[in-house]
Amino acid sequence: MFSNIPKGTRDFSSIEMKKRNYLIQTIRRKFELFGFYPIETPSIENLSTLIGKYGEEGDSLMFKLLHSGNFLRKISNKALIYDLTVPFVRYVVMHQNEIVFPFKRYQIQPVWRADKPQKGRFREFYQCDADMISFSWSLWDEIELIQLCDEIFTELNFPIIIYINHRDVLEGLVKMAGIENHLCKDFTISLDKWNKIGRNLVKKEMLKKGISSFSFEKVAFFLDMEENFYNKEKHLTVALQSSEKGRKGIQDLSFIYKNIENISLKKAKLEWNLSLARGMNYYTGTILEIVPFNNSISIGGGGRYDQLANLFGMNNISGVGISLGLDRIYLAMEHENLFQSIPSKVLFINFGNEEVLHAYKIIKFLRKKGISTQLYPHADKIGKQFRYANDNNIPFAISIGKNEIDKNKIRMKNIQKRTEKEYDSINDVLNQLT
């Protein structure tokens, strides 16, 4: 019988899991360092919670569940979660009476999308989200999130650029360029591809959608501008002066940018990217996107969403957050060779039941000292046992055969160096291992 797994899902080997756990633990530690608290929401939500929050595309990519049993007639009213933001907002609304606001939480969980599997795009993947929900509104949230990303990726030794933009600036651009309201969404969707497909293809797309060449060029003028933040700010403040929203957007970005510059980042770079729009329907203010320094594949994003909770009947709350794609980070770091190899422990050679029992106190002692020690389960040929250590990158193997028992010695082999030595005491062995 042939065994396989569903398309777009993956098995992770031990070597991969060690690296993934290293990423998760680093991200978790930094989230907590910044005062975000862990919560967890179910993998399954009611369809009514999820549908209509991600736009049409999102709705069609939802993994729906059958009711239990074999009855296809039972129509599904549940689905696997599509991201962590909507479940989080649902959580806030449902638990609003127990929660202390402002509420800062993080979640590290898998999400599912019935998307076409591609390189680097999976149907099951992990997101790492940090969000904050408040009844009032502060741009210090954005500043904290940017500092947080800087901390995480500095720790990972992974150079990133944080792109920032603002939905209100995009609205200002639309107004300035004289683009009709009903084309606004098409405009931003195409604009967002600027870095991926380039100026010409974006223009082609926009023209096809009914945006005039004149409008396109008016906007493109600013996207072509290779200026620092302050010059962009100057030019755009003039250009968008007739749009109240546009001016407000620029002001927000300016506040964030100036404070970040004052506080200073460690390794990350903050850059105003006018083409950044992001797909998620729910963003209403700042938008963030994280890309590695030397390629343009997004490894995370976020922004401010002010109306999402309205959909659940809770008004006047503002949310802002960042979502990191664990799998994308993994692939990018693997590609750049940024993972350190993880060292390992001891294999206890099995010479038979009596010998093992006699020497088991050594296993217990090493484990007590926190040294990961495994007993080879069978009294297989010694060569096979050493090969097992070698194949699993276990650096040391301890042998206690009849000989060693008689002489009251401990024999330990360094697998890589192929050297072997006899020790008089457990403590000598321990010194060698730590």
> Within 299-338, which residues bind a second copy (CB under 8 A)?
311-313
Known binding residue 82? Answer is no
C-beta of residue 301 within 8 angstroms of C-beta of residue 172? no
Alpha-carbon gap, residue 276 to 170, rounded angstroms: 9
Nearer to a second copy, 132 or 236 (CB): 132
**CA triple 96-97-98, angle to 5 deg:** 95
99: exposed, middle or buried (Cβ count in 10 Å: 0-12, 13-18, 19+): middle
Known binding residue 85? Answer is yes
Closest C-alpha to 14, from 391, 337, 434: 391
> Within 370-389, which residues bind a second copy (CB under 8 A)?
370-378, 380, 388
Known binding residue 84? Answer is yes
Known binding residue 127? Answer is yes
Q: How many residues bind a second copy (CB under 8 A)?
A: 104
> Within 20-79, which residues bind a second copy (CB under 8 A)?
20-21, 32-46, 48-49, 60-70, 72, 75-76, 78
Instruction: Return the SS3 of 224.
Output: helix
142-171 footprint of a second copy as x/- string (CB under 8 A) = --x------x--------------------
Known binding residue 282? Answer is yes
Does residue 216 touch a second copy according to CB under 8 A? Answer: no
Alpha-carbon gap, residue 125 to 43, rounded angstroms: 12
Alpha-carbon gap, residue 411 to 291, rounded angstroms: 51
According to CB under 8 A, which one of 120, 121, 140, 416 is a site residue for a second copy?
A: 140
Residues facing 70 on adjacent strands: none
- Shortest Å, Cβ 141 to a second copy: 5
- Shortest Å, Cβ 223 to a second copy: 30
C-beta of residue 431 within 8 angstroms of C-beta of residue 366? no
> Within 77-106, which residues bind a second copy (CB under 8 A)?
78, 80, 90-91, 93-95, 98, 100-102, 104-105
Radius of gyration of the chain (CA): 28
Known binding residue 306? Answer is no
Does residue 392 touch a second copy according to CB under 8 A? Answer: yes
DSSP state at residue 118: B
Alpha-carbon gap, residue 352 to 328, rounded angstroms: 47
393-412 footprint of a second copy as x/- string (CB under 8 A) = -x------------------
Residues in binding site for L-histidine: 83-85, 113, 127, 131, 278, 282-283
